[in-house]
């Protein structure tokens, strides 16, 4: 197998692989309107691709295209060497498309709607590998209505492989014809011809400057069709640019080139359709991004509100959690001076009650003290029960219905702006969110006490390190050491050496008071540290619970749709990039032009 054959097979394999990727991309349904339109366009493109593949071996369909009086029909007559169509320069003479074929041509193989054409068979060398279509004029004054010339023109252009665009010195700037060409050029090779060389000035340089921003123009022909026809009728070969044009059709568009031309047309058609899809999706994507930002904002807003409610509810039991926290700290530190002070502070109520027993003088006082102790025990049990009840309320706490409805209303507006199916918002109903809350409630209630104990254990561990304990022990014992030093110096040194009297009871009383105050300062500093740590962890627990209720998102179907849209956009971008690379590498006839950047709003009109 030769190298060109291998390259040809490799290129066909790449086109097949591209078609497969497009087919897989277009087969899924989507709630996003722009993506749905893009997939519908790709599905139509795939059907068009199959038509082109079936016609790879059929002769090329070459159509003339140009304004009224530009000499299309005269040029066709000159190309085939005889008068087979009516010509005129002042008004439209081609009202029904004329299909000019070789007598041996089986026109059914072309796939053309032959009932729409006037078929003319001519034995001409130029028709051995191509068929020629003399199209209606696109700048006729009639509107595009069913059965009109323009309607016929738009219906037959998708079957054309090569367009010969004719113009004159007066009409090459015609906006109507240029607009029609922008629709027709997608998926076609272009040949630009300036006619009436016998009458007009050569304006090809200026015409090329007009075309360059939109089309690749390797060559522009300047022909005198009437002269070329007379030369052929006289048995002579045409001269000038007409000879080059005729050579292009008979040699460069021969059978060996038709696959190349149609393959290039096919890739151009895919590229134009994908560029249209990319442009359409990109123009609507900012609205989807705004929707995603609104979803995040509403999620944060509701999560913050729920988290604050949960935190406030949990912190109502802060005194109980603090006592448990101090018990955990003292158990970790064991018997030490500062730990003993913390134990005394934590059990101060019980200590006062027990001391009051020693002051009881009769049975009535003993009974009163016992009643007070019983009341304290009942209050403690009630406090613990209240803490458990609060955990239950925290687990059943739900989002406010009014806030949820407000969020639903806001998101529905963004979804409509983004052209997403409104049912995605309605599916995220309040009942669905309550079901999610119930699942979180069951998970939370199963280990509520364990989670609180875990919070207390974490805070205690974080605040009972050796350095922390050493710091508070040193601060406490520093005062005790100072008092002992002062007493010892007075007793062993000042009283014997300096004859200073021993310290009185006032000193010891003051020292005891200041010890209590100093111990209280240290205890308050340490408990404040514990309180801050406990509050931080309780807030984190509230955020975890609120976040658990939002684990699947505020509107899970809508969020999933946004994620899927982003994935599909990226898939389309990858396919479009591959098409661009293939388009740059594919072999194409060097003398034929093509559209560089067809207008995005007219791409779909070019091909069925």
SS (H, E, C) 517-553: HHHHHHHHHHHHHHHHHHHHHHHHHHHHHHHHHCCCC
Angle between helices 505-549 and 255-315 (to 10 degrees): 140
**Model pLDDT for residues 494-547, shown as the tens digit of each residue:** 777 777 788 888 888 998 899 889 988 998 888 888 888 878 887 777 777 666
| R_g (Cα) of the chain, nearest Å | 46
**Measuring CA to CA, which residue among 522, 171, 463 is closest to residue 328?**
463
**Model pLDDT for residues 321-380, shown as the tens digit of each residue:** 777 788 888 888 888 888 888 887 776 655 555 545 445 555 665 566 566 556 655 655
Range list for CATH 3.40.50.300 in the chain: 3-284+568-602
In this prediction, residues 458-470 reach a mean pLDDT of 83
**Measuring CA to CA, which residue among 90, 181, 199 is closest to residue 135?**
181
Residue 471: how many CB atoms within 10 A of its CB? 14
**Model pLDDT for residues 538-592, shown as the tens digit of each residue:** 777 777 766 666 655 667 778 888 899 999 999 999 999 988 888 777 644 454 6
Structure tokens at 145: 């209505």
Structure tokens at 255: 């059978």
Let me know if 111 is exposed, middle or buried by CB neighbors in 10 A (0-12, 13-18, 19+).
Answer: middle
- How far does the chain reach from its first CA to its final CA, in angstroms? 36
Q: How far is CA 511 from CA 168, 210, 399, 522, 604, in A?
A: 116, 103, 57, 16, 96
Structure tokens at 3: 């190298």
**Which pLDDT band, with edges at 50, 70 and 90, does 158 fall under?**
confident
The arrangement of secondary structure in 3-284+568-602, i.e. its CATH architecture, is 3-Layer(aba) Sandwich (3.40)
**What span, in angstroms and rounded, lies between the C-alpha atoms of 460 and 482?**
30
* pTM for the predicted model, two decimal places: 0.56
Residue 199: how many CB atoms within 10 A of its CB? 11
**What span, in angstroms and rounded, lies between the C-alpha atoms of 530 and 321?**
10
Give me the phi and psi of 174, to 5 degrees please. -65, 115
> DSSP code of 137?
P
**Model pLDDT for residues 271-322, shown as the tens digit of each residue:** 888 999 999 999 999 999 999 898 888 878 877 777 777 677 666 667 777 7
> DSSP code of 250?
I
Q: Which residues contact 386 (CB under 8 A, 6 or more apart)?
A: 317
Q: Which residues pair with 65 in a beta bridge?
A: 165
Contact of 286 with 360, CB cutoff 8 Å: no
Q: How many CA atoms lie within 13 A of 399 on its CB side?
A: 32
**What span, in angstroms and rounded, lies between the C-alpha atoms of 572 and 577?**
8
**What span, in angstroms and rounded, lies between the C-alpha atoms of 149 and 564?**
44
């Amino acid at each position: 197998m030769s190298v060109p054959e291998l390259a040809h097979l490799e290129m066909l394999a790449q086109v097949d692989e591209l078609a497969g990727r497009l087919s897989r991309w277009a087969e899924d349904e989507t709630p996003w309107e722009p993506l749905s339109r893009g997939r519908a366009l790709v599905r139509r493109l795939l059907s068009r691709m199959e038509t082109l593949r079936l016609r790879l071996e059929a002769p090329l369909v070459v159509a003339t295209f140009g304004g009224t009086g530009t000499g299309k029909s005269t040029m066709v007559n000159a190309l085939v060497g005889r008068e087979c169509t009516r010509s005129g320069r002042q008004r439209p003479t081609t009202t029904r498309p004329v299909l000019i074929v070789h007598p041996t041509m089986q026109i059914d193989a072309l796939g053309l709607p032959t009932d729409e054409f006037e078929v003319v068979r001519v034995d001409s060398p130029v028709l051995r590998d191509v068929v020629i279509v003399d199209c209606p004029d696109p700048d006729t004054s009639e509107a595009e209505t069913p059965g009109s010339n323009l309607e016929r023109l738009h219906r037959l252009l998708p079957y054309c492989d090569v367009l010969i665009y004719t113009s004159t010195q007066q009409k090459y700037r015609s906006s109507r014809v240029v607009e029609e060409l922008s629709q027709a050029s997608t998926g076609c090779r272009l040949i630009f011809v300036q006619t009436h060389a016998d009458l007009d000035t050569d304006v090809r340089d200026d015409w090329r400057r007009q075309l360059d921003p939109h089309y690749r123009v390797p060559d522009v022909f300047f022909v005198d069709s009437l002269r070329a026809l007379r030369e052929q009728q006289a048995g002579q070969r045409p001269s000038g640019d007409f000879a080059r044009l005729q050579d292009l059709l008979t040699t460069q568009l021969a059978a060996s080139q038709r696959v190349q031309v149609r393959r290039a047309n096919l890739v151009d058609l895919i590229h134009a359709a994908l560029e249209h899809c990319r442009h359409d999706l990109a123009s609507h994507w900012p609205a989807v991004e705004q929707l995603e930002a609104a979803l995040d904002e509403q999620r944060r807003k509701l999560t913050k509100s729920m988290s604050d409610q949960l935190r406030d509810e949990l912190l109502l039991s802060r005194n109980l959690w603090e006592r448990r926290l101090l018990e955990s700290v003292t158990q970790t530190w064991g018997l030490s001076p500062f730990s003993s002070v913390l134990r005394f502070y934590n059990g101060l109520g019980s200590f006062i009650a027990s001391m009051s027993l020693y002051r009881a003088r009769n049975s009535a006082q003993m009974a009163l003290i016992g009643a007070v102790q019983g009341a304290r025990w009942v209050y403690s049990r009630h406090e613990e029960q209240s803490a458990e009840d609060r955990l239950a309320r925290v687990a059943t706490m739900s989002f406010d219905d009014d806030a949820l409805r407000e969020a639903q209303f806001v998101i529905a507006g963004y979804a409509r702006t983004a052209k997403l199916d409104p049912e995605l918002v309605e599916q995220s109903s309040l009942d669905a969110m309550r079901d999610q809350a119930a699942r979180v409630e069951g998970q939370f209630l199963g280990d509520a006490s364990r989670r609180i104990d875990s919070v207390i254990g974490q805070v205690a561990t974080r605040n009972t390190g050796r350095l922390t304990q050493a710091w508070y022990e040193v601060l406490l014992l520093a005062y005790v050491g100072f008092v002992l030093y002062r007493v010892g110096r007075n007793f062993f040194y000042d009283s014997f050496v300096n004859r200073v009297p021993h310290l009185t009871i006032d000193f010891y009383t003051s020292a005891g008071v200041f010890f209590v105050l100093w111990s209280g300062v240290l205890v308050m500093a340490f408990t404040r540290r514990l309180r801050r740590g406990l509050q931080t962890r309780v807030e984190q627990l509230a955020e975890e619970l609120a976040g658990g209720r939002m684990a699947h998102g505020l509107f899970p179907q809508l969020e999933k749709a946004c994620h899927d849209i982003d994935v599909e956009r990226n898939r389309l971008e990858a396919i479009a990039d591959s098409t661009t690379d293939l388009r740059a590498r594919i072999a194409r006839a060097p003398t034929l032009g093509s559209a560089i950047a067809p207008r995005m709003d007219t791409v779909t009109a070019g091909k069925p």
